[in-house]
Chains A and B, each alone.
Chain A
Amino acid sequence: MDLIIEKLSKEIRAFPLLRRYNFTPDSELQDLLNYFYFCPLCNSIKQGFAVEEILNDNGTVSRIMYLECRHAYNWYEKAGYIDIKYRPSVQAWVKLEVYDEKNRLIRKLYQKSHSFLQQFIGLLQLAMANITNGSLTTTGGTAQTPEFEEVSGTTSVILNVMTAGFGAGSGVSTYGIVIGTGTTANSTSTYSLASQIANGTGAGQMQYGAMSISSPTASGNTISFNLSRSFTNSSGGTINVNEIGIYAKNSYQTAGTTPTTITNYFDLARDVLASTQAIANGSSLSVTYTIQITIS
Chain B
Amino acid sequence: MSLKLSATYSLEIRKEIIDIIELNLIKPQVLSLTEFTDDSTIQQILNRYYYCPICKKLEFGWSLYEYYEDGIIKRRLYLDCTHSYEYGTIGYIELPIHPIVVVWMKAEVHSQDRQLTKLYQRSHSFLNAFIQAMYGMLNGSNVTIPDVTNTGQSFWQTDSGSTTPLNIWASVNAGASDSTYGIVIGTGTTANSTSTYALASIISNGTGSGQMQYGAMSVSSLSISGSTISIPLSRTMTNNSGATINVAEAGIYVRQQQGTTNLTWCWLRDLFSAVQAVANGNSITINWQVQITVS
Contacts and interface: CB of A to CB of B under 8 A. Distances in A.
> Do A and B make up one complex?
yes
A218 B173 contact: no
Interface stretch (A35-43, A97-105, A196-204): A35-43
Contacts of A75: 5
Nearest to B252: A128
Contacts of B292: 115-117, 120-121
Contact of B98 (A1, A38, A114, A188): A114
Interface in A44-91: 44-47, 49, 65, 68, 73-80, 82-84, 86-91
Q: Dominant SS at the A interface?
A: mixed
B158 A65 contact: no
B128 to A, nearest CB: 6
A122 B222 contact: yes
B161 A83 contact: no
Interface string A133-169: 0000000000000001110001011111111111100
Interface of A: 1, 4-5, 7-9, 11-12, 14, 36-38, 40-41, 43-47, 49, 65, 68, 73-80, 82-84, 86-92, 112-118, 120-122, 124-125, 127-130, 148-150, 154, 156-167, 185-188, 190, 213, 215-216, 218, 221, 223-225, 227, 246, 248-249, 291-296
Contacts, number: 281
A205 to B, nearest CB: 25
11 contacts: A1-B22, A1-B25, A9-B14, A76-B7, A112-B98, A130-B171, A158-B160, A163-B157, A167-B140, A188-B229, A296-B125
Nearest to B91: A4
Interface residues of B, number: 89
Interface stretch (B64-72, B162-170, B274-282): B162-170
A46 B14 contact: no
Contacts of B165: 149-150, 154, 157
Give 9 nearest A-B pairs by CB, closest first. A163-B140, A166-B140, A129-B219, A148-B169, A130-B171, A90-B101, A40-B3, A79-B5, A150-B165
A12 B19 CA distance: 13
Contacts of A68: 96, 98
* Residue from A75, A80, A167, A223 with most neighbouring chain B CB atoms (10 Å): A80
Given A80-B13, A90-B101, A163-B138, 17 more contacts: A14-B10, A79-B5, A86-B95, A90-B99, A90-B103, A121-B292, A128-B233, A129-B173, A148-B168, A150-B159, A157-B161, A161-B169, A163-B139, A164-B140, A188-B228, A223-B131, A246-B138
A159 B166 contact: yes
Given A115-B292, A295-B196, A8 B51 contact: yes
Contacts of B5: 37-38, 40, 65, 73-76, 79-80
Interface stretch (B38-46, B53-61, B112-120, B207-215): B53-61
Contacts of A246: 138
Contacts of A213: 135, 138-139
Contacts of B33: none
B198 interface: no
A159 B158 CA distance: 5
B3 to A, nearest CB: 4
A127 B228 CA distance: 20
B172 interface: yes
Contact of A79 (B6, B95, B102, B294): B6
Contacts of A114: 98, 100, 294-295
A86 B13 contact: no
B216 interface: no
B86 interface: no
B110 interface: no
B229 A160 contact: no
A47 B58 contact: no
B96 A9 contact: no
A290 to B, nearest CB: 11
Interface string B126-152: 111011101101111100000000000
B18 A5 contact: yes
